[in-house]
A and B are shown apart, each in its own frame.
Chain A
């Protein structure tokens, strides 16, 4: 064996060890990050999944014709529907006479129950005069009991439900009048002071509308800017360089600054209504645009120049070259960049606080100009509330947000798969 080979061989084992060590570092890093991700998701799901179920109570309500005729929305708005529900609760538990206990009895059902009754009467006006079994939302404490958050074995002074209340609930359960059902209210309602009535419809729609505005604006604007800067703008020009530097800087600007900008420009100057998805979307567009531009430029840069030469060489104009050959090849990368920007915008809270999307809004927005909140803002608001029901809903809203994000990413992946040229 000659000298060179000896030297090489002596170092070989060390080199191999190094390589193996490095591979293990990589595996450990991936494992740790996956473990944290799994931990995060399981903890959120574990805390939040119960919010998708809601306790409902079956009560037998006598639809008193005296109170309910004529069954028009105007009349029912003034009718004492709560009284009818109270009456049926008293009939179910005739032994309750004490005033305090009566009040506790009435709290078994949610304050939304009269509205459910109203909706029922409006849907079935022919049933007036009969006694019907109506499933209504249970009160927050009943929901907690049903979901097992209240331990009947605990001393009575330390739990939210008194012994007699638990006795009522056990009786209702034995009669099959207390069940967990899929919580459509969580998906259909706006925000509420009562946890059992609070839903994410307003926040979901707000986020959806904002994403539509953001995508509709930032994608074409970003791509157009990137194409101009990358393909047409003169190189080594002071102004172009200045613009480039500023775009890169904008991508790093804290998001709350964009909120201030949106407040000053869109609300203050243009006079657009505050708390609306339009203003939110515009503000998030400002925030997303630099990311989209930078990613799109990188995608354009990655297109091999030989394609450009080929097109130019047979007499395509520069615009034809870009739109026929370069852009289709860069599109998947551009989409990825846009989705990264959109995902960031979807999870953004700070700029939305500045433009008033933190308001308490009950009615779902019907257009871009109706007040709304956004999912992350709703999460932030609920996370502030101490009630158990809101804690649960916070996690549930996070699940919805993550699903939203997942669907958005999935759409992007599918779109990219379609656009990507496999040859």
Chain B
């Protein structure tokens, strides 16, 4: 990657003025660029001047202690913050060089391009088939039933769920196990063929085996989609991501290649966090 802004702070206090992110947040060919992003919940500021590029077909992990703003940042990327009362987003976020907060940007279209998987598996109380088919249906992606069947099958295959559910597509989705439900949610998200998939702690409600399956899945999905994953597990971040961004109290402290962040953190706060001193 390009020039690295190395700047070691004398004080680890993130609240200090003139804070700048350690590591290079720019990319040569970004999919999403975020510049000077500030987010407010009412009077309370949740994110301070975030600058970050997200590349094509990479997995970037957002880590940091609870309440550090990583989920808030994630929700900025597909404007899910819009539905939160009193939430205000400032700054410039571009997807393929389009301002996603521009007036002419339809959040419906944006969310079709930037899909989201949530912390708790949240399948619709419908059949497995209808869950996956819902997105293509509302967007009119399938001309007929055969095409829709194909989309459902492909999506479930990509989510690694096809073999388990192909004989019971008409069964209720809520009857699946937690891990299967989460993979179904991933299938539902990729059924509309998004460019970016946001994942908000997708494994936090799952057991280790289901988690491993999902992590493997994320690795496979990387070939097609840009994935931004928020996680509390540093092992997970290390396993699935190529780049890692460390958030602390609403600020982006450090960003860089995952291997470098975990082996050689440059900011003391990052070091404290990944060595388990707090968080």
By a beta-carbon cutoff of 8 Å, the part of chain A in contact with chain B is 235-236, 304, 306-317, 320, 324-325, 329, 421, 423
Please tell me if the beta carbons of B125 and A314 are within 8 angstroms of each other in the complex: no
Interface mask (B103-115 → A, CB under 8 Å = 1, otherwise 0): 0000011111001
DSSP class of A's interface residues: helix, strand, loop or mixed? helix
**Complexed CA–CA distance, A306 and B110 (Å):** 19
A304 vs B135: C-alpha distance when bound (angstroms):
20
* Chain A residues with CB under 8 A of B222: none
Q: Which of B16-24, B116-124, B227-235, B270-278 is found at the contact surface with chain A?
A: B116-124
Q: Are B124 and A313 in contact (CB under 8 A)?
A: no
A310 touching B123 in the complex, CB below 8 Å, given contacts A317-B108, A423-B172 = yes
Assess whether B86 is interfacial by the CB under 8 Å rule: yes
B118 & A309 in contact (Cβ 8 Å cutoff): yes
Mark out the residues of chain B between 50 and 64 whose CB falls within 8 Å of any chain A CB in the assembled complex.
Answer: none
Residues of A within 8 A of B175 (CB): 423
Leading 10 A-B pairs by shortest Cβ distance: A423-B172, A315-B112, A313-B116, A306-B122, A315-B111, A314-B135, A310-B122, A235-B85, A423-B174, A421-B125
Interface residues on B, range: 20 to 34
Q: Tell me the bound Cα distance from A233 to B133 in angstroms.
A: 30
Query: Judging by beta carbons under 8 Å apart, are A314 and B120 in contact?
Result: no
Contact A236–B189 (Cβ < 8 Å): no
Task: Report yes or no: A313 in contact with B123, Cβ–Cβ below 8 A.
Answer: no
28 CB-based A-B contacts, threshold 8 Å: A235-B85, A235-B86, A236-B85, A307-B122, A307-B124, A308-B83, A309-B80, A309-B118, A309-B122, A310-B122, A310-B185, A310-B188, A311-B124, A312-B80, A313-B80, A313-B115, A314-B112, A314-B135, A314-B188, A314-B192, A315-B110, A315-B112, A315-B139, A315-B192, A317-B108, A324-B134, A329-B125, A423-B125
A321 vs chain B, min Cβ distance (A): 10
Interface residues of B in 37-86 (CB under 8 A from A): 78, 80, 83, 85-86
- Are B118 and A325 in touch, CB under 8 angstroms? no
Q: Does B209 count as interface, using CB distance less than 8 angstroms?
A: no
* Min CB gap B76→A, angstroms: 14
Chain B residues proximal to chain A, CB less than 8 Å: 78, 80, 83, 85-86, 108-112, 115-118, 120, 122-125, 134-135, 138-139, 172-175, 185, 188-189, 191-192
**A314 and B189 within 8 A (CB):** yes
Pick the contact of B189 from A306, A313, A317, A423 — CB < 8 Å?
A313
Q: Which B residues touch A309, using CB under 8 A?
A: 80, 116, 118, 122
B191 CB to nearest A CB, Å: 8
- Whether B120 pairs with A306 at a CB distance below 8 angstroms is yes
Q: Are B112 and A313 in contact (CB under 8 A)?
A: no
Known: A307-B125, A329-B125. 7 other contacts (CB 8 A): A309-B118, A313-B78, A314-B138, A315-B108, A315-B109, A316-B135, A423-B173
CB < 8 Å: which of A236, A312, A423 contacts B111? A312
Q: A236-B85, A324-B134 are in contact. Are A310 and B111 (CB under 8 A)?
A: no
Inter-chain CB contacts under 8 Å: number? 72
* Nearest Cβ on chain A to B157's Cβ, whole angstroms: 18
Give CA–CA (A235, B80) in the complex, Å. Answer: 17
Whether the pair A312, B83 counts as a contact (CB closer than 8 A) is yes
Give the CA-CA distance A329 to B109 in the complex, in Å.
26
**What is the bound-complex CA distance between A310 and B109, given in angstroms?**
15
In the assembled complex, which residues on chain B have CB atoms less than 8 Å from the CB atom of A315?
108-112, 115, 135, 138-139, 192
Least Cβ–Cβ distance between A294 and chain B, in angstroms: 21
**CB-based nearest B residue for A308:** B83
Q: Identify which of A235, A306, A316, A329 contacts B118 (C-beta below 8 A).
A: A306
Contacts of B86 in A (CB 8 A): 235-236
> Chain B residues near A308 (CB, 8 Å)?
83
Closest CB of chain B to A330's CB: distance in Å? 12
A323 shortest CB reach to chain B, Å: 11
Q: Give, as a whole number of angstroms, the nearest-CB distance from B127 to chain A.
A: 9
With A and B bound together, what is the CA distance between A203 and B111 in angstroms? 56
CA A316 to CA B107, docked complex, whole Å: 9
B124 CB contact (under 8 Å) in A236, A317, A325: A325
**Chain A nearest CB: distance from B88 CB in Å?**
13
**In the complex, A235 Cα to B82 Cα: how many Å?**
13
In the complex, A320 Cα to B108 Cα: how many Å? 11
Within the complex, the shortest CB–CB distance from A142 to chain B, in Å, comes to 63
Q: B115 — which chain A residues lie within 8 A by C-beta? A: 313-315
Which chain B residues lie closer than 8 Å to A423 at the CB level?
A: 125, 172-175
Measured between alpha carbons, how far is A314 from B117 in the docked complex, in Å?
9
Across the interface, which residues of A come within 8 angstroms of B124, CB to CB?
307, 310-311, 325
Contacts of B80 in A (CB 8 A): 309, 312-313
Within the complex, the shortest CB–CB distance from B158 to chain A, in Å, comes to 15
Q: A312 to B116, alpha carbons, bound, how many Å?
A: 9
Interface centre among A236, A309, A324 (most CB of B within 10 A): A309
State the CA gap A307–B134 with chains docked (Å): 13
Select from chain B the residue with minimum beta-carbon distance to A231: B83
* Residues on B with beta carbons closer than 8 Å to the beta carbon of A320: 138
**Cα distance, A307 to B86, chains bound together (Å):** 21
Q: How far is the CA of A310 from the CA of B121 in the complex (A)?
A: 9
Residues on A with C-beta less than 8 A from B189 are 313-314
**CA–CA, A88 to B191, complex, Å?**
88
- Chain A residues whose CB sits within 8 angstroms of the CB of B173 once the complex forms: 423
Closest residue of B by beta carbon distance from A422 = B172
Least CB distance, B3 to chain A, in whole angstroms: 36
Residues of A within 8 A of B138 (CB): 314-316, 320, 324
- Residues from chain A with a CB closer than 8 A to the CB of B125 are 307, 329, 421, 423
Contacting residues, chain B, for A307 (C-beta < 8 A)? 122, 124-125
How far, in angstroms, from A44 to B80 measured CA to CA in the complex?
59
Shortest Cβ distance from residue B111 to the other chain A in the assembled complex, whole angstroms: 4
Docked Cα-Cα span, A320 to B191, in Å, equals 18
